Structure 1
Amino acid sequence: MRGGKISRREFLGVARSAAIAGIVAAGIVGGIAGYVGGSSAAPPRTITTTTTVAGAAQTVTETRTVTQTVTGAAEPLRVGYVYVGPVGDYGWSYAHDMGRRWADAHFGLPVKSFYRESVPEAEVGSAIETLIDEGAKLIFTTSFGYMDATAEYAAKYPDRYFVHISGYRSGAAGNAPENMSAAFAEFYQLYYLNGLAAGAVTETGVVGYVGAYPIPEVVRHINAFVLGANYAYKKRTGKNIKAHVTWIFSWYAPAEARKAAIALIEEKSCDVLAFTEDTPSVLQVAEEYWKKGRRVWSFSHYSDMREYGPNAHLTGQIVNWGPIYLDFYRMVATNSWISVDIWTRIGDYMPYRWRRPVEQSTAGRPEGTVYLAPLNPVIPSEWQILIKQRYEEMKELLFEPFSVEGNLGEPIRDQNGEVRIRAGERADHDMLWNMDWLVEYIEEPLPRA
């Protein structure tokens, strides 16, 4: 997660992720035994056996030499994780811990993983040290603010492997040691689909967003959500959507998220709320309004949160970090490590990543590393069809939210009216990774440091 000045680098796309899987598959058969075999051949031993042959005049003594193999216990791969929040937040850190468990379960070999939770970004170094003391060979650090310390410890411990989540430093990028990689599971496409759902159901024409920090990751998610909402609402009514953003300056702050959500509903007339805060608090507020007879909608975030808002839940963005983690487990276990920078989107790590017909769409089903939560039947059928169509098209990048096509054929402008994306253009990796502007439909300016 996720802030600070971002350096530009070449857009790696989804092909890099596919390359990793190929490298891993090629090396796994020969390498696994070397890491966890734990067996050795004992010196030859002379074994004397006595055999009685029926009908023979005497007992026959036979001497033979055999080689016995003594097998030791397999050595488990030891993997450490550092989380910025509690594993029970039901959001960011919870999703990472579910990914850890998924990777452990699918590795197929002995593995021992352990974690440190609720680690402030300034204290990640000491957490890494404790994981190394426990013998961790592979370490995942899962918050943007952990990035520089992760690079520092990668340099300090060249015999260990490090993966930083949501940052931009890696050996592959040339700005960190070769034993450090970067990875992220990206949501902007799913936020656009959430926006389509929001624009399809809003009655006030006003949507809200509870934001954590005004950094590029959150900004692009807000922009994607609002672009989707404007597309659907304007298609329905001919009017532009109005969007409000409240910043709480925290990743894990359920009380602040709750307060912000209520204010957006009561003071701004928002009836659909998205958020980047690592608990179901905003969805719970929406559900409370339903019980009071007022329709307010919200979403899942990182995990399936439907139980917290059975009426208010529209859809949402869900992540499975497990396949990403599993690739790194395999690289370390097979001694086939290469530093990579991967950024997964809709379609990546799916068994069948290609577009399907709308009637066969997998939207709303668990698959890959990022996927859409189930669609609430309240979303009108014509918009469910479009959401499924876009979901399928995005598997092959046939459609991208940050394009004129994603904005009803109009150029995408910022709050100052400056055109940011013109006809024939799409936001590339650098624009998305460095996004520091809000689209014109948002009322509040972006906070500046």
Structure 2
Amino acid sequence: MKKLLLLAVLAAFLVLPGCSKKKEEETKAPETAAPAETAAAPEGKEIRAAFVYVGPVGDGGWTFAHDMGRQVMAKLPYVKDVTFIESVPEGAESTRIITSLAQKGYNLIFTTSFGYMDPTIEVAAKFPDVVFMHCSGYKTAANVGTYFGRIEQARYLSGIVAGKMTKSNVLGYVAAFPIPEVIRGINAFTMGARSVNPKAVVKVVWTQTWFDPAKERDAAESLLDVKADVITMHQDTPAPLQAAEKRGAFAIGYNTDMASQIPGAWLTAPVWNWGPLYTQIAEAVHNGTWKSEQIWYGIEHNLVDLAPMSKLVPAEVQALVNEKKAEMQAGKFVLFAGPIKDNAGKVVVEAGKSMTDPEQLSMNFLVEGVQGTIPK
């Protein structure tokens, strides 16, 4: 294939925080003036990439983290253009949006929420020449791959922090939907906390939403009312953490480092670093080496990590966390290894055994120490 000259480079796309919903509007990263000399893109397929987001890019959390990764990928010389559509509801609306993007010639489409799984598979069957990558799901096809990270590793580390910092031994967890991804996080956090504080319990409130600041704040308030003095979450906004700060409790975030937003309560957070993975996928499509696979990277690939611990966390606790993190990076620590009991006292993983990836991806129990149930 002849070498293609790019006359412009894509600049990082800055979005002001906000909650407005854009279901149909496509927003493209602006172009800057062409430099004096432009380099030829390497031979291979030219990439036109599109991202489908479940929340607004200004959420400061899940969608914001993905968009930071998108901006990294957009700088690649063979990426012709990149677009995203934010606040796309899971379900029929997402099917329409994904179809529209494929019809408009985007040849690499990222769908970034669990509920986009079936719509992605449905649309991909109609566009065999388009590569689809679905985040956090488990269904694949010839032109559909999946990708996610073992964020539960960072959850475990944050649990160690919580277990050491609590005075009441009650930890509050604001959870979104009862899917395996969220359940794994609750369990890992609880196991981490109880590894250093066997008296710690984790109380869970389910919001049944990814992005609803008011509902998330109310959920955190209800946990604070029952003596939780550390609040963490699996949500897309900092609302639960802000509630914790207001009440004098500690806060452990998710998705991104929100330390500047919750300075009086912030401890740390499990965080995402999507840029290298988005670059890897784009390179594979460009080079013609892409294949359908299920990518599930851990802390050793730097896809997931723990945000820097704040000065509120004592040095000896930070040292303990960093020691366990080093074990994870070296492959010396297996998180879901038996014996593990559920919160009804039943042995779910026997001693000497560990959960396989498929078992983890379909996890549907809460471990000992979690006070709550999994709603339907």
TM-score range for the pair, normalised by the shorter chain length: 0.7 to 0.9
| CA-CA distance at 1:378 after TM superposition | 2.8
Bigger mean CA deviation after superposition, 156-165 or 124-133: 124-133
| Structure 1 or 2: more helix by fraction | 1
Q: Distance in 1 between matches of 2:137 and 2:274?
A: 15
SS of residue paired to 1:302:
coil
Q: Cα gap change, 1:419/1:35 in structure 2, threshold over 3 Å: closer, same or farther?
A: farther
What does 1:24-103 align with in structure 2 at a 5 Å threshold? 34=1, 36-37=3-4, 77-103=47-73
Partners of 2:81 and 2:307 in 1: how far apart? Answer: 31
Q: 1:371 aligns with which of 280, 305, 318?
A: 305
- Provide the TM-score with structure 2 as the length reference: 0.86
Determine the structure 2 residue equivalent to 1:160. 130
**Paired residues of 2:78 and 2:286 also in contact (CA < 8 A):** no
Q: TM-score, normalised by structure 1?
A: 0.72
Residue 229 (structure 2) pairs with residue 271 (structure 1): yes
CA deviation vs aligned residue, 1:141-190 (integer Å, no higher than 9, x gap)? 111111111112211011111111111112xxxxx2x1111111221011
Alpha-carbon shift at residue 314 of structure 1 (Å)? 0.7
CA distance in 1, matches of 2:72, 2:257: 16
Aligned mates of 2:279, 2:231 — CA distance in 1:
34
Contact 1:205 1:241 in 2 (8 A): yes
Q: What are structure 2's unaligned runs of at least 5 residues? A: 7-37
Q: Does 2:202 match 1:232?
A: no
Q: Return 281-290 or 420-429, whichever deviates more.
A: 420-429
Q: Distance in 2 between matches of 1:83 and 1:198?
A: 30
Identify the residue that residue 288 of structure 1 maps to in structure 2: 246
Query: How far off its partner does 1:111 sit?
Result: 2.8
User: 1:231, CA displacement in angstroms?
Assistant: 1.6
The DSSP-based 3-state class of the residue aligned with 1:440 is coil
**By how many angstroms is 1:38 displaced?**
5.7
CA apart distance, 1:215: 1.1
Instruction: Return the alpha-carbon distance in structure 2 between the equivalents of residues 263 and 308 of structure 1.
Output: 21
Distance 1:384 1:423 in 2: 29
Instruction: Please give the residue correspondences for 1:327-338 in structure 2 after superposition, counting only pairs within 5 Å.
Output: 327-338=280-291
Question: Any unmatched runs of 5+ in structure 1?
Answer: 1-33, 40-70, 171-175, 235-239, 291-295, 349-367, 405-410
Question: Post-superposition shift, 1:421?
Answer: 2.4
Contact 1:300 1:373 (8 Å CA) reproduced: no
Task: Kindly provide the amino acid, as one letter, of the partner of residue 301 in structure 1.
Answer: Y
Cα distance change, pair 415–135 in 1 and its aligned pair in 2 (3 A): same
Work out which of the residue numbers 258, 261, 281 in structure 2 matches 1:305: 258
User: Counterpart of 1:55?
Assistant: none
SS at 1:121 equivalent: coil
SS in structure 2 opposite 1:169?
coil
Q: Post-superposition shift, 1:374?
A: 0.6
Larger mean CA deviation between 108-117 and 199-208 belongs to 108-117
Alignment of 1:343-422 (within 5 A): 343-348=296-301, 368-404=302-338, 411-422=339-350
Work out the CA distance in 2 between the residues paired with 1:36 and 1:80.
23
Query: Alignment length, in residue pairs?
Result: 341
Paired position in structure 1 for 2:83: 114
1:431 shift after superposition = 2.3
- Of the candidates 190, 210, 215, which is equivalent to residue 174 of structure 2? 210
Contact 1:346 1:370 in 2 (8 A): yes
| Pairing 1:146–2:116 present | yes
Query: Percent of aligned pairs with the same residue?
Result: 41
How far residue 371 of structure 1 moved from its aligned partner, in angstroms, is 1.0
CA pair 443-161 structure 1, distance change in 2 beyond 3 A: same
Runs (4+) off by over 4 Å:
73-76
Structure number with larger C-alpha Rg: 1
What is the root-mean-square deviation in Å for CA atoms of aligned residues? Answer: 2.0
Matched, 1:319 2:272: yes
